[in-house]
Amino acid sequence: MQIETITTHPYNDQNPGTSGLRKKVKVFQQPGYLENFVQSIFDSLHDFTGKTLVLGGDGRYFNRPAIQIIIKMAAANGFGKLIIGQGGLLSTPAASHIIRKNNAFGGLILSASHNPGGPDEDFGIKYNVGNGGPAPEKYTNAFYQRSLTIDSYKTAHIEDIDLDRIGTQQIEGLNITIVDPVTDYAELMQSIFDFNLLKQSISSGYITLLFDAMHAITGPYAKRILIDILGATPDSVINAEPLEDFGGHHPDPNLAHAQELAERMFSSSAPVFGAASDGDGDRNMITGSNIFVTPSDSLAIMAANAHLIPAYAQGLRGVARSMPTSQAVDRVAACYNIPCYETPTGWKFFGNLLDAGKITLCGEESFGTGSDHVREKDGLWAVLFWLNLIARKRQSVADIVHEHWQKFGRDIYCRHDYEAVEMDIANGIVEHLRSQLPALPGQTFGDYTVKYADEFSYEDSVDGSVSSNQGIRIGFENGSRIIFRLSGTGTVGATLRIYLERFEADASKHDQDAQVALAELIGLAEQFCEVKKRTGRTEPDVVT
């Protein structure tokens, strides 16, 4: 194998966020940009000669060319085997499963998750370690530091690989296996859920469903599992073909972007169950006929009913949620006397807890839930979990939600996103908030007295690592919270996320509209952070 070492120069903006490096496609297309980052990853890893690397992505624009580049670099750097999804496709949870099933050294996942795709939109890449989960901060910090000093990268002179032909080929000592991206994942789902019950419930007409794949990666997975295996009608999966630009849409599964699904689910002809997933298949939106289930409530309901699912019939070892996620799952954990962990945003923080056997179920308010079956959040897994619940409980989605609120109370919750805020303004907002924290405890604002005001810091209970500056929290005596956080998943400016939460025990008030119920907290949030005043905006870009 002819290996060439190519001289390059560093780029100073290759610091991976919570889910890898995400930039505009045109940034990744700069000479050596992708190569630099991939070589920085390989240079920071040890003892992988002859080992297995998993490779795949969500099919967005630049996915195929990037995979060909990475194949040549992986060969040049000494990997012995590559497992690649057919067509260069792998959902993020499926990639995690393939890494784990094959005891791979790690994997490279090409995705910008729920961000738009196309020549003028976003691309991303992240490294997953041998447990199948996203690289922890000690890895991503090392990747970034190496990227600042890199001066060359290695590539092999081999022909482009036919990514569409399933099977194994040997190229000068390198084993390249192209696999069907769905098969292993579908088998895993059949080992978790009661597929016989689901088939009966769907064939009898008790469960009707609509899944919106948003022209993203989960289309082939949903068609295979929901239609081919479980027997749902062919029109049960819409926007099923993965497209490089996601059909010009934003593959973010919320009511604002999954409009076709939302219109159907809030109509007189709504099916029993509706759901959507995102660009790389790790997020989920759950709806029923004329009801939207918030991700925070979804996590709590799944935790409270997990014993009804075959794989979790023995109960849960513990649960975890990201700090901005509502405290609904905490109430379930307290009721069932199981541990509940609060982590920073970013799935990698759940990995240690899962590996150590401290938790079985975990989730984030940003439309992500998962369990110990993989080390990523998993959109279709959550969809199947809810379908299994409906089939077992013989209740509608709305009845399941209201029954849960009756037992545990309702954490009324919403998130306001102000997107693409200029970095100087965003940083100014955070500094302004920080300056107020020492004086806030004890102050009263209308019905709300501040109990604590701080910046969240997390000490990992497994390895003792500390993650600071993970979001600003203002908590009140009545259990309500306002949280402010700058998101690391966008590619333009900064996204300011404001999370608002109020607990309501009175069942007669459980059906309140969240924006109405949280109106006083929304006003307080603006008083504290001044985002409208400082940006000139009148409302958030997205409300979820």
- Between vectors from CA 427 to CA 425 and to CA 430, what angle results, nearest 5°? 110
Cite the DSSP H helix spans in 306-422: 328-336, 348-355, 379-393, 397-408
Question: Which is catalytic among the residues 91, 113, 201, 289?
Answer: 113
Q: What is the dihedral of CA 46, 50, 56, 61, to 10 degrees?
A: 80
| Cβ–Cβ under 8 Å, residues 290 and 266 | yes
Q: Which residue has the tokens 């199947």?
A: 384
Q: CA 141, CA 136: separation in Å to the nearest integer?
A: 9
Q: CA 302, CA 335: separation in Å to the nearest integer?
A: 14
| Cβ–Cβ under 8 Å, residues 139 and 44 | yes
Q: Which amino acid is at 235?
A: D
Q: Which amino acid is at 489?
A: T
DSSP-derived secondary structure for 142-181? HHHHHHTT--EEEEE--PPP-TTS-EEEEETTEEEEEE-T
Q: CA 50, CA 52: separation in Å to the nearest integer?
A: 7
| Cβ–Cβ under 8 Å, residues 239 and 247 | yes
Q: CA 344, CA 324: separation in Å to the nearest integer?
A: 8
Q: Is the dihedral of CA 321, 278, 193, 375 positive or negative?
A: negative
Closest listed residue to residue 494, CA positions, set 536, 535, 434, 437: 535
Q: What is the token pair recorded at 541?
A: 């870009």
Q: CA 228, CA 221: separation in Å to the nearest integer?
A: 10
Q: CA 520, CA 146: separation in Å to the nearest integer?
A: 47
Q: CA 57, CA 163: separation in Å to the nearest integer?
A: 12
- Catalytic site includes residue 113: yes
Residues assigned a catalytic role: 113
